[in-house]
Amino acid sequence: MKACILTTAHSPFDERIFHKEANSLAEAGYEVVIVAPHQQSEEKQGIRIRAVDPLSSRLDRIWRLKAIYKEALQENADIYHFHDPDLLPVGLLLSRRHHKPVVYDVHEYYGDSLLTRYWLPKPLRKIVAKTVDRFEKWSAQSFAGIITVNSHMAELFKRKNSEGEILHNYPLKRQFEFPRPDSLKPPVILYLGGINRERGLEVILRAMPLVRQRYPEAICELVGPAETGDLGPEFADLKPWLEQGNVHLRGKVPYEQVPSILAGSSIALVPLLPTLNYQKAIPVKLLEYMAAGLPVVGSRFGYIEEIVQQNQCGLLTEPGDPESLARAVCSLLEDPNKGLKYGHNGWEAFHREYTWEKEQNKLLSLYERILTKKDR
């Protein structure tokens, strides 16, 4: 059986797409091909990457739809699986015109997320968000199955399509095989993943100079792509802020380097703002921090608050408050043994409950149900 995975917004080697879903399918015996913007077609770990031209702008995600559709058709796969709302028209064509089973993998609340996108003119945001949300839910009726990332999202889609699975985006245990933490580390404060204003960039930039007033040796590593277009005017020149806070913008790194970066850190940040999207999401970075045995400093709302409190794996701060963030970080730097205890708790909770290996059987089960219906 051949599975064809489609994406425009992600790298073909994206953590969820390649390292989790595609690898799980390949290990189960599927022939797997990923159609995505990339420099060239290639094969890695038995998974074929079928490349279309790389993107040069957000609009390119729309212009590439025809190419993605054409390449997907040529694969003539037994099942198609797409990841981005801009691919809804492609999914509909594959399902309705070519009668192929199609799975829509929903990562976030796309309508809600558009309400905070700085590149979309403010007067248009509500109209665009509502239109996208309605089109997404209407389209869901035509697909063979819907994959979501939490129970709330699953309920929204069940009204339109009852076939699906909740696949929590938990980390891969085999890529986060850290020993239980038993020693204190240098004062390296980590934020992992893409960052912008709503993910707490302004808060970190304001908090770190406060931390360094007490702990001048503290370093803050921001590992992932940074978007600065939505920051306030006082951040037009980032250099002084980065220097005052000893903040290092590392940029995007290969997924394989993430474990070593985690191993060299002492405190991990989840300073997200309580936007509609993040109020309902489980940040995968939080679980990766726990897997590495790092104490967490996270915003007091939603799943962040629930997971941190339930597992006693860190401290909670008021969202958007740099002084609250700085106090929590300083508290852990002042008492490293407290941080070590939080790290132990998070490490144990991860191994007990939050690994991808416990989720992958749901993906395989969904594929089996869909393909069994197809063959009837």
Q: For the chain, how many residues are written?
A: 376
199 plus 265 within the same structural domain: yes
- Shared domain check, 301 and 228: yes
Q: Which domain holds residue 304?
A: 173-353
The domain total for the chain is 2
The per-residue pLDDT for range 12-54, each reduced to its tens digit, is 999 899 999 999 999 999 999 999 999 999 999 999 999 999 8
d(CA 32, CA 215): 50
Same domain as 46, residue 148:
yes
pLDDT in tens, 339-364: 999 999 999 999 999 999 989 999 99
200 and 311: one domain?
Answer: yes
**83 and 140 share one domain:** yes
Considering the domain architecture, whether residues 223 and 339 belong to the same structural domain is answered as: yes
- Are 179 and 319 members of one domain? yes
**Mean of the pLDDT values across residues 246-271?**
91
Instruction: Please indicate, yes or no, whether residues 156 and 178 belong to a single structural domain of this protein.
Output: no
| pLDDT band at residue 121 under the 50/70/90 scheme | confident
Q: Do residue 98 and residue 186 come from a single domain?
A: no
Prediction pTM value = 0.78
Claim to verify: residue 369 and residue 308 sit in the same structural domain: no
Which CATH number does the domain housing residue 265 bear? 3.40.50.2000
The values of phi and psi at residue 6, to 5°, are -120, 140
Question: For residue 217, is pLDDT > 70?
Answer: yes
* N- to C-terminal Cα separation, the chain: 16
Residues 125 and 214 in one domain: no
**Are 137 and 267 members of one domain?**
no
| Tens digits of residue pLDDT in 300-311 | 999 999 999 999
SS3 175: helix
Cα gap 163→370, rounded to integer Å: 9
